[in-house]
Structure 1
Amino acid sequence: MSVPYETAAYEPAESPESPEEHLARLLGRALNSFELPDEAIRPLDCALAQDSSLHSAHHSAGLHRETYRHTWLLADGSAVTLWELVHNTVPGSDPQHEVYVDEEELRAATARLPLPPDAPDFELPVLVTLAPVPAPRHVYAPDDSADHARRLLRRAENPDRPDGETAQALSTAFAHQITQAFGRPGRAGRQGLAFSLYEHAFLLRDGRELSLWEVEHTATPDGRHMCEVYPSEVAARDAMERRAARQR
């Protein structure tokens, strides 16, 4: 039987641990961590942020199996994923943890367990055409959004922040949504260095959607908190990469 899980019960959303600490905890509980190649683990020592989510879960007659996806954001903008398998061998026994570097290895490991596989293989008829799945839309909330946009742009300290034309368009915003774009704030490089990336999505009165990307960090000479705002996610991640590179 497949069952839904809240990942918050597994990885606390307010966990203060850094990406490096999360990696150490993951490898510390994995029975097969010694089998993981160094070249796959070494880049994670300088990760900027980390995110974990439940991938699948099955329970049957006292046996259980869950798989988790752990992803790290690196300073060069790339992401590295490790796959964790959690299961028990007999009903009521303590869970065992295993970690794999790719999803194929994870599937091979789950196949040997006395539970149904995550997704049985099947073939679609050649004449079947699958319609593209639309990307989920933002869930906007009316909340003095034009003023929120003004305050966001006002506290941005980067000289290449969005221009007056963007500010003018945002003056017509009537709803917005703020989401963290990747993981939780993490420390990288020197002790206490933190990066966070947020998307501020606005709904304008003419029906258009416009997003600003906020980078919050402490990669400053005196370690103070700094806010930068960019018109695109690519520009924001490039800025994070540049800031992180200066701290190496």
Structure 2
Amino acid sequence: MARTRAGGGEGAGMDRSGPGGDPGSGEPTPAEQVQELLARAQNGFDIGEGVLERLGTALMHQCELRSYRQRNDEPRALRCNTYRHVFLLADGSSLLLYELEHDTGPEERFLYELYAREEALDEAERRVHERIGGGIGPGSEDEELPAWLAEELLLAMGPARPRREYVSEESPDHARRLLRRAENTDGPGEVVRELLQGALGHHIALITKPRRRGPGRDATWCRFYEHAFLLEGGGEVSLWELEHNMTTDGRLVCEVYLDEAEAEVAADRHARAQGVDL
């Protein structure tokens, strides 16, 4: 998997592939991404069949740097990077895999571990940080790059709007599922619903403006998706999905808006209600 690293060879990595991948670009499809993760992971067999079945429907893949640590006062540098792999599934939901990359083994090469549960990842990170030593663990301000800062580095790279590649299969059904899942009452109305029943194609894009604050599983975060629909006559309509956990119980919810700015305003409104600074 290609990763872009910043800051002397270590930093934020991102890899995006659209629905079905782009055979002409050489980018791996989401299914190929899953196979690559499993192939290099030492514990790939621990990922359950249920998770693998869901991943078989993945339409898009996004890789984000979750945490980073490097210790240079040893005979050789010891590094530990954690990546969050986000897969957008055919039913509109998302599934996360966590990849732990470290070189704390006897040989100077990276080893990889893969986890579907954040609790299991936390245990693995503690084990690796103990090997690195120095009395510094996840969340340290001395050597740890906070996950929110890694994402801010991605934002500084500028907005990424991938070229649209419309999928022509079940576009009206995709629109129905998306709007049915939305929990906000100020979303698209019946006119839009009826218009999208004649959609000829759709394209899903994870917009490069992830926001996250706080460590570990208690982090407050939100992400934005653009669902673009191709209409008869060549017209286009985009719906903007806001996925966040800024709820009283931390539950993950989906909201859908007709305008990108409306989704941004909603995210800021939820953040203020929860006393969070995004």
TM-score, with normalisation over the residues of structure 2? Answer: 0.46
Q: Aligned residue pairs: how many?
A: 159
Q: Secondary structure at the match of 2:123?
A: helix
Partner of 1:131: none
What are the Cα deviations for residues 197-221 of structure 1, in whole angstroms up to 9, with x where unaligned? 377xxxxxxxxxxxxx853468x9x
Distance in structure 1 (CA, Å) of the matches to 2:103 and 2:42? 13
Higher RCO, 1 vs 2 (CA within 8 Å, ≥6 residues apart): 1
Partner of 2:116: 101
1:40: how far off? 1.5
Is 1:197 the equivalent of 2:205? yes
Closer/same/farther in 2, CA of residues 53 and 232 from structure 1, 3 Å limit: closer
Closer/same/farther in 2, CA of residues 226 and 88 from structure 1, 3 Å limit: farther
What are the Cα deviations for residues 160-197 of structure 1, in whole angstroms up to 9, with x where unaligned? xxxxxxxxxxxxxxxxx9765xx99789898xx97333
Partner of 1:54: 65
Q: How do residues 206-217 of structure 1 correspond to structure 2 at under 5 angstroms?
A: 215-216=227-228
Partner of 1:78: 93
What letter corresponds to residue 65 of structure 1 in structure 2? C
Q: Secondary structure at the match of 1:24?
A: helix
Q: Secondary structure at the match of 1:25?
A: helix
Which residue of 102, 127, 137 maps to 1:87? 102
Distance in structure 1 (CA, Å) of the matches to 2:39 and 2:166? 20
Partner of 1:5: 11
What are the Cα deviations for residues 223-245 of structure 1, in whole angstroms up to 9, with x where unaligned? xx9843347664579xxxxxxxx
Closer/same/farther in 2, CA of residues 25 and 235 from structure 1, 3 Å limit: same
Distance in structure 2 (CA, Å) of the matches to 1:104 and 1:75? 26
Closer/same/farther in 2, CA of residues 35 and 58 from structure 1, 3 Å limit: same
Q: Secondary structure at the match of 1:7?
A: coil
What letter corresponds to residue 64 of structure 1 in structure 2? R
In structure 2, runs of 5+ residues without a counterpart are: 1-6, 18-24, 141-151, 170-200, 208-224, 243-254, 259-278
Partner of 1:119: 139
Supply the RMSD in Å over aligned alpha carbons: 4.1
What are the Cα deviations for residues 125-160 of structure 1, in whole angstroms up to 9, with x where unaligned? xxxxxxxxxxx9xx9xxxxxxxxxxxxxxxxxxxxx
Q: Secondary structure at the match of 1:28?
A: helix
Q: Secondary structure at the match of 1:42?
A: helix
Which residue of 21, 46, 59 maps to 1:35? 46
TM-score, with normalisation over the residues of structure 1? Answer: 0.50
Partner of 2:216: none
Structure possessing the higher radius of gyration over alpha carbons: 1
What are the Cα deviations for residues 37-65 of structure 1, in whole angstroms up to 9, with x where unaligned? 11112101111211110111111131110
Runs of 4+ residues deviating >6 angstroms = 12-15, 183-190
Tell me if structure 1 keeps the 8 A contact 2:229–2:238. no
Closer/same/farther in 2, CA of residues 188 and 49 from structure 1, 3 Å limit: farther
Tell me if structure 2 keeps the 8 A contact 1:18–1:186. no
Distance in structure 2 (CA, Å) of the matches to 1:198 and 1:226? 21
What letter corresponds to residue 119 of structure 1 in structure 2? G
Partner of 2:266: none
Identity %: 25
Partner of 2:238: 229
1:93: how far off? 0.8
Partner of 1:66: 81
